[in-house]
Homo-oligomer: A and B are copies of this chain.
Amino acid sequence: MISGSSLTPELLQAMYGEQAKLCTSPNEQLTLVFSQHRAFDLVELEQLLEAVGWSRRPVRRVRKALDHSLLRVGLWRHDARIPRLVGFARCTGDGVLEATIWDVAVHPLYQGAGLGKQLMDYILDCLRALGTERATLFADPGVLPFYQRLGWDLEPGGHRCGFWYAN
């Protein structure tokens, strides 16, 4: 449902690119858009991730990581002049057999309204469209219920996730 800020299909595509999609909004005043192509301000992105509790990473490394990701999705609060980034997720992977989803975040002020679910649905639709067979992710303890509610198979058949750090 398009709210008062009059986002036509032409403007949607011009500002947010091909495959942009409106996100169902909890608030008539709020137009929310999923975009795979609108460029990120990396400082704004790191602020979003910090708002959900993660440490900041060097901007240069984030830029390189985003450039080498399979998929990048921003959830934008639409504004005709300055859209604001309120959600994000990205995938790495080979685009065929495996994709791993990272950095899933919805700004705390926008949580609790089903936007995380819509973000995950949007990403999985993108992966289906790419022809990817399987997606994986690593869930922090605090968000296990979120992924379980969305139907993710957590730790199927005794699989464990393993981590290694370079330093």
Residue numbers of A with Cβ under 8 A of B are: 57, 61-62, 64-70, 92-98, 100, 102, 124, 127-128, 132-141, 144, 147, 151-167
Q: B57 near A164 (CB under 8 angstroms)?
A: no
Q: How would you classify the secondary structure of chain A's contact residues: helix, strand, loop or mixed?
A: mixed
If A62-B97, A64-B95 touch, whether A166 touches B57 (CB-CB below 8 Å) is no
**Seed contacts A65-B98, A135-B166; 17 additional CB < 8 Å A-B pairs:** A57-B97, A65-B94, A65-B95, A65-B97, A68-B70, A68-B94, A92-B92, A92-B93, A98-B100, A100-B100, A133-B167, A134-B166, A139-B160, A139-B162, A141-B158, A153-B163, A160-B161
A57 to chain B, nearest CB (A): 7
Q: B158 near A96 (CB under 8 angstroms)?
A: no
A77 to chain B, nearest CB (A): 26
A164 to chain B, nearest CB (A): 4
A114 to chain B, nearest CB (A): 18
